Every structure is written in C-alpha cells, then in structure tokens.
A and B are shown apart, each in its own frame.
Chain A
Amino acid sequence: MTEQSYPPNLVTDAVDGVRKRHRKEIRFRLLGLSAILASLGFLVFFIASIVTTGYGAFVKTVVLVDVDLTLDSLGLEDGYTPKDLEEISYRTVARNAIRDMFPEVSGRSARRELTGLLGAGAEFELKDFVLKNPDLVGAPQSFWMTASDDFDLFNKGGAREETATQLSSQQKDWYRSLLRDSRVKTTFNASFLTASDSRDPELAGVWGAIKGSFFALGICLLLSFTVGVLAAIYLEEFAPKNRWTSLLEVNINNLAAVPSITYGLLGLAIFLGIFGLPRSASLVGGMVLALMTLPTIIISSRVSLQAVPPSIREAALGIGASHIQAVFHHVVPLALPGMLTGTIIGMARALGETAPLLMIGMVAFIADAPASVLDPASALPVQVYLWADSPERAFAEKTAGAILVLLAFLVAMNMAAVVLRKRFEKRW
C-alpha cells in the first residue's frame, strides 16, 4: 500500500462532526426523559395538592365550651321526664354558653358574631350529648363543640390573617383568647364520612354520596357483567365469521370510544323520557353506567376467552361434551378471573364517571342518604362537582376530601384487579 496523506483539517472536521452528533444524541435522549419527567411531575404535583387541600376535610376544630346544664338554665323542673330533655331549646343553651364565656360582649351584632364561632350543628351535638348522658344534667359541664367553618379554616390555616377574610377582628381576638386558655383543638372529623350533604360546610359529609355510588355501581355490575360476559362468549365461541359479526365487532369497538355524555343523553331520552323511570335515581344512574361499561367488559372478556388454549375445548368435545357444555363447563371457568379483572377495571371507570349522571338529573342537593335504588341520590363524583361549584371557601377542602375518598376507592379496586390477575394468571 502506498502512503496516503489526508489534509489535516479533514480529520479534525470529522472528529468535530462526530462530537457534535454525539452531543445531539444526548440532547435527544434528554428530551425524551424530560417528557416523561414532566408528565410524572404533573402527577406528583397533582396528587400532592389534592392531599394537602383535602387533608383538612378529615380534621375539624373544636372549642371547649362551659355549658351550664343546671335545671334552671335548661328550663326544667325537678322530676323531669326523658321526654322533657328532648324538648329543650338547645340552640338557646348553646348560645348562652358561649355568651357566658365572654360576658363583656354586648350589642346585637357583637353577640351574633360571638355565636357565629360555633358551628351550625352545635345545638344537635349538645342535644345528643345530653340525651346520652342524662345523669350529667344539673351541674355545669365542659364540652367540646364543633366550631364554625370560617373559624375552622382560620385555625387550620395557622391563624394567618389571609386565611380568614370572613372573620372580623373581634372574632380573631376571641379565637386568640380561647387558644391561650387551650380551649381550641383539632380532632378527627368522623362526621365527614358518616354525614350526608349539607348547606353548612362543617356538617357536610360524603356518606349519602358513597351510598348512592354503591347502589349505582351495584346495578351497573349486575347488568354489564351478565350481558357483557354472555355477549363475549357468543362472539368468541359461537358466532359464525360473517359480515354481521364483523359489523358487531366494529360497533362494539366504536361504542367504547363514544363520549360518556352521549350515554347520558340516551338515558335521558329513553329511560326517563320513554320508560318514565324516576329522575335522579341511582337505578337509572346504574343503567346508564352499565351501557357505558358494557363495551369495555365485552372487549376484555373476549381477550381472556382467547387466552384459553383450544386444547381445552377440543378435549371436552372429544369426550362427548356438547359445544355449550364444553364452553360453559371448561372454557368459561378458566377465563373467569380475567373477565373479573376486566370487570373491576370497568367498574372503577364507572365509579369516576360524572357527565352521564348529570344528564339524568343526579345533580340535585340531597340531604339524606338514599334508602333504595329508586330514591333520589347523589354519587361521589357528582358530590365533588357540586361542592367544587359551591362559593363557600370551606367547601374547597371538603371537595378535595371527597376526591381523596373517591381516589381511595379507585386505588382499592385497581389493587384488587392487580391481585386477582397475579393470583390466577395462568401461562399455557
């Protein structure tokens, strides 16, 4: 070979070019990584802000109030009956109690501000307390009472000025003096989980909504699981391959992508308009959700039927089982865990769905938990929507609290699906 000499700048150019290309390579890779980090960062920010806001819904501020339970102040005479205890005006007793703690306050508006420190449910708390402990009647008692929502926000916000635009400076002073006497504390707010909706934020809870969601999901499960699984069995095991069944298949795939609000319109026009079923009932809600989840369940059930190897079917047919026996005795039981997994995931989606429920009138203010599927009901996501719309600031943390409850149910359902899949997954 002859000695060949390259011009020197050709070599350095080439090296420079390679370096540049490698830097480009790193930049491109970082671009991909940052896309993922941005998405995940949003998720973290999202969950963190919901948790920090919603945490407040599970704790409440209570105030230690000295209540004068002497017969005189309760308006009772000796030899009172338990029935008399029920008829006392606890509203007045509670008001007097808080007024007695700040005797220097006078004037109508100042006294109204003072009683405004107590929550709207104070009288009922007091009544429950007295009815449960009738032997304490006759002497002054100290008693923890739920504070009003503005007071609650002020306390939980660390008593910073900007957290309490609703409180007057006088009310803030009372708060500080109560705090000095260690008469203010925060406790677990059990009523958030056991009470139903209310106009007063400190009384509002999610129980009615949970029950409504439970009824609706029950109806939805019943309808969509039976119909969905049977439809999947037909399509996968019995249907002839012709134009009709392929049309059916395309149809099901398209139904799965129809916007959920459309199902609400269908429910409004047909279930309410033609069948005349009651508005706002969880029965109708469940039916609409069932229509919506049906395509998802059919698709996932077909996938799990496809996963059962043909040898199972052939073995059953070979020893004389009819086609239906082979399918129902052998194939379906093997595919069932997969079908259940798909169903749970479908149910989780249905639980979070709001728009179709709004269409059939599940947006009303409902103060009582529904007793049956025909009663007007709310649902968890609808409750979130209603509270989010509410102008009172204290409802913001209630909304986030309801979201936490909703997310807890969703996480539990998805975990159940994962466990089920792990446990029964078979590799053929």
Chain B
Amino acid sequence: MALASDKDLAGHRQSQLAIERVVRFVLVSCAATAIFITLGIIGSLFFEAMRFFRDVPVLDFLFGLEWSPQTALRADQVAASGRFGAVPLFAGTALTSIVALTISAPLGIFSAIYLSEYATLGTRNLIKPLLEILAGIPTVVYGFFAALVIAPALRNYGAQIGLDVASESALAAGLVMGVMIIPLISSISDDIISAVPRSLREGSYGLGATKSETIRKVVLPAALPGIAGGILLATSRAVGETMIVVMAAGLAANLTANPLEAVTTVTVQIVVLLTGDQEFDSTKTLAAFALGLTLFFVTLTLNVIGSQIVRRFREQYD
C-alpha cells in the first residue's frame, strides 16, 4: 500500500514545485517592475532629450540666458531658432524654492521643537495629524488658493505700501508652497530631535541649564545636520512641485532675483510646452524632456544626499 502512494506523492510534489516556481517567477517580476519604471523614466527622458540636444547644443541649453521657445512654432523658421537657454527657468525655480524654504524651515523646525520637547502627549497626538492635513491637500487646491486669495492680497498690500507686486509673483507661489512643505520638515525634524538621547539633555540640565538653553545649545547642534538633510528633501519637493507654480507663478521667462516679480520655473515650462497642440516631435516638445531630465537629476541628487544624511542622524545614537 505504501509503495503505491509513494509514486503519487512524488508526482504531487513535482506539481507543487512547479507551482512554486511559477509563483516565485510572478513575485520576482513584480518586484522588478520598480527597476523597469526607473529604467523607463531614465530611458524616455534621456532619448528624447538627446534628440533635443541634436538641435540645441547642451551648453546653450544649460547656460543660455534667453528662453523663448514659442518662436520655434512659426512655420517659416527652422526648428531650432527659438531660444532654449534654461538659466531663467533655473533661476525662477531657485527663487520660488528659496521663498518656500524661508517660510517652511523656521515654521517646521520650531513646530518640531515644540512638539517633541514641550507638548504633552495629548497635544502632540492632536496637533501632529492636523499638521499632516497640510501635506494631504492636493497641490492643485493650493494653486487655486495662491492664485485666487494670496496673489491678489499681496498685490493690494504691496500697492498700499508703495510696492509693485506682479499679479503672478514668485512670492505668492513660494509662500503657499512653503505652507505645503511645513509638515515634511516638521516630521523629519521631530524624528531627528527625538533621536537625540536623553543623557545629553540630562547632562545639560545637571549643569544648571534651562530647557530652552539645553535645546539651543545641546539638542539642536546635535540634530542640525539631520535637520539639514530634511531640508534637502524639502528642497527637492519644492523644485519638483508643479501645480502651485503653474497656477500662481508666471508663464513668461524672466531672469530676476526679485520675488515680487513673475518668474517661470522648469516644471511650469514642461507643462506649457506639452499641453499645447503641437506634434510630438517638434523641438519644443523635445525641450520639455530635456527640462524633465534636468529636473529628474537635480531632485534625485537632492533626495539621495538628503535621505543619506537623515538616515545617518536618525540612527546616530542607536
């Protein structure tokens, strides 16, 4: 009897192994999808950008001071006669991001200090999710808010004190973007500050320091590099943000350091270049991919460095 079923068992085992191989293959290919997405992003951006760089030299793109792609649309011109110097876009992106960070860095860090050092557990559990709501609001909603409420308010206020504020200004876009980023900075800073060990604080108290002195002279210096990493991550978010700047910053390139003027950013130009009705292969649409490639590498670099630093300082005292 036992002999007969041995064969059955072997067959059963065979088929089970086959099933397991199939399942394992499916699992591996699902995990590999992530790699394919990355390759897809890099590949598509890279190939389209290379076609763009055949018409426009890389150096002209990276260091050119004039951006006016619309002239390339006219039929009587050769494709490359539009100006594709991206410096005004980089400057505009930097300007809106700097405004955003000057809002969000102090607010985020001080919120984190209060939440991790002063607030009671109940307050903390109440306020943290409320702050997170700011991160969950869709960016198009922020954009609408910036364009409808903040920009006119700034314009009116500017007129009262004698300043000429553009109706689409880097300040309005950056301000609202800053509010969006507050929870990102505050939650990373909170993590880092909480990772600073008690013994450091108690040493400081033992020497007679007050709580705020301890925070300023012991906790923050220990946490600062980690917080800086968090700010890099926030910068990457600000640089890649699209809808707020599309709706509240300008569309025309403008090389300026004045946040009261309208500027345009890399992401705005990608949207502008690709939402019109032109054929897919024009230099204009290809320019969007060149901008996309630049954006991808800049944000990737910021993310890699930022997350390395944050991870190191989160685990520093473990």
Contacts and interface: CB of A to CB of B under 8 A. Distances in A.
Contacts of B186: 39
Interface in A218-270: 226-228, 230-231, 233-235, 238-239, 248, 251-255, 257-263, 265-266, 268-270
Interface in B239-283: 239-243, 246-247, 267, 270-271, 274-275, 280
Interface residues of A, number: 84
A56 B316 CA distance: 54
B114 A36 contact: yes
Interface stretch (A66-74, A91-99, A403-411): A403-411
B292 A261 contact: yes
B224 interface: no
Nearest to B281: A273
B247 A265 contact: no
Nearest to A224: B33
B114 A259 contact: no
B268 to A, nearest CB: 10
Nearest to B292: A265
Contact of A230 (B27, B48, B233, B267): B27
B295 A259 contact: yes
A260 B295 CA distance: 11
A428 interface: no
B153 to A, nearest CB: 10
B87 to A, nearest CB: 20
B275 A248 contact: no
A186 B162 CA distance: 42
Contacts of B127: 36, 40
Contact of A381 (B45, B106, B138, B289): B138
B99 interface: no
Interface majority SS (helix, strand, loop, mixed), chain B: helix
Contact of B136 (A29, A323, A324, A414): A414
B212 interface: yes
Contacts of A34: 110
Given A46-B145, A388-B247, A234 B27 contact: yes
A39 B179 contact: yes
A1 interface: no
Given A248-B31, A261-B295, A352 B45 contact: no
A42 B138 contact: no
Q: Which of A36, A251, A273, A407 is the most central at the interface, judged by chain B CB atoms within 10 Å of its CB?
A: A36
B89 interface: no
Interface string A329-370: 000000000000000000011011111001101010000000
B275 A255 contact: no
B210 A24 contact: yes
A298 B140 CA distance: 26
A399 B247 CA distance: 13
Contacts of B211: 25, 29
B141 A39 contact: no
A351 B138 CA distance: 8
Interface in B18-35: 19-20, 23-24, 26-28, 30-35
A295 B307 CA distance: 16
A24 B214 CA distance: 12
Nearest to A269: B44
A42 B177 CA distance: 12
Nearest to B36: A291
Contacts of A258: 41, 240, 296, 299-300
A43 B26 contact: no
A35 interface: yes
A254 to B, nearest CB: 6
Contacts of A294: 33-34, 37
B271 to A, nearest CB: 6
Interface in A191-240: 226-228, 230-231, 233-235, 238-239
Interface in B44-73: 44-45, 47-48
A233 B28 CA distance: 10
A163 interface: no
A291 B34 CA distance: 9
A406 B144 CA distance: 13
Interface string A22-50: 10110011011111101110110010011
A352 B139 contact: yes
Interface majority SS (helix, strand, loop, mixed), chain A: helix
B96 to A, nearest CB: 14
Q: Which of A226, A363, A388, A399 is the most central at the interface, judged by chain B CB atoms within 10 Å of its CB?
A: A388
A291 B44 CA distance: 14
Contact of B141 (A359, A361, A403): A403
B240 A260 contact: yes
A147 interface: no
A29 B267 contact: no
Contacts of B138: 351-354, 381, 406, 410
Given A322-B20, A358-B275, A262 B115 contact: no
A261 B270 contact: yes
B33 A39 contact: no
A299 to B, nearest CB: 11
B216 interface: yes
A189 interface: no
B271 A355 contact: yes
A353 B307 CA distance: 24
Contacts of A39: 107, 111, 131, 134, 179, 182, 186
A233 B107 CA distance: 39
Nearest to B131: A39
A352 B145 contact: no
A273 B270 CA distance: 17
Contact of B34 (A29, A251, A328): A251
A227 to B, nearest CB: 5
Given A230-B26, A269-B47, 7 more contacts: A35-B110, A231-B34, A258-B296, A262-B45, A298-B34, A359-B275, A381-B141
20 contacts: A36-B110, A40-B131, A42-B134, A227-B30, A231-B31, A248-B31, A251-B38, A255-B37, A257-B233, A258-B41, A259-B295, A262-B292, A263-B41, A265-B41, A265-B274, A273-B44, A291-B37, A353-B138, A355-B139, A355-B242
Interface of B: 16, 19-20, 23-24, 26-28, 30-35, 37-38, 40-41, 44-45, 47-48, 106-111, 113-115, 117-118, 127, 130-131, 133-134, 136-141, 143-145, 147-149, 179, 182, 186, 210-213, 215-216, 233, 236-237, 239-243, 246-247, 267, 270-271, 274-275, 280, 288-289, 292, 295-296, 299-300, 303-304, 307
User: Which A-B residue pairs are the 8 nearest by beta carbons?
Assistant: A259-B240, A352-B138, A32-B114, A35-B110, A269-B44, A28-B212, A234-B27, A230-B30
